[in-house]
Structure 1
Amino acid sequence: MTNHDIEYWKQKLLGMTFMQGVSAQAKNENEVTEADLPPLHRFLTNNSITTMDLNTGRLNVHQDNDNKITHVMFY
């Protein structure tokens, strides 16, 4: 991914709240769902265990305990 892609996702997601579940719908402009993300993504929390496979096309979305998105990156 390019620096432009990374900046786009940072601007779109940082500080937003992720609404989980199959029937999740964003109720306001501060919420996102999986439908708002690229097809290749994963969510990570402070306690997440990850594999060491590097996939530069996968968006990694880091969130806190309140489902607030704190960091995004491709790897």
Structure 2
Amino acid sequence: MKKWIKIAVLALVAVIGSILIGGTLWVWFAGLFVVKFIARLLFTLALAVVLYVLFYALIIGGILWILIS
């Protein structure tokens, strides 16, 4: 998606949220950017944990393969 479309969607969500639920527009903008940052951070951490587990499974599997054969 183009950057201006992403910004327009965020602005629309902020305007609709401030109208329906209340609060200022700037609080909604800040909240959206914080949630976006936290979601990316959690995704990165989850990916790191998965890669860590797979790497150690590969090491243990390799050692067992050498010991069995």
Q: TM-score, normalised by structure 2?
A: 0.26
Compare the two structures and name the one with the higher helix fraction.
Answer: 2
TM-score by length of structure 1 reads 0.24
Structure with the largest fraction of strand: 1
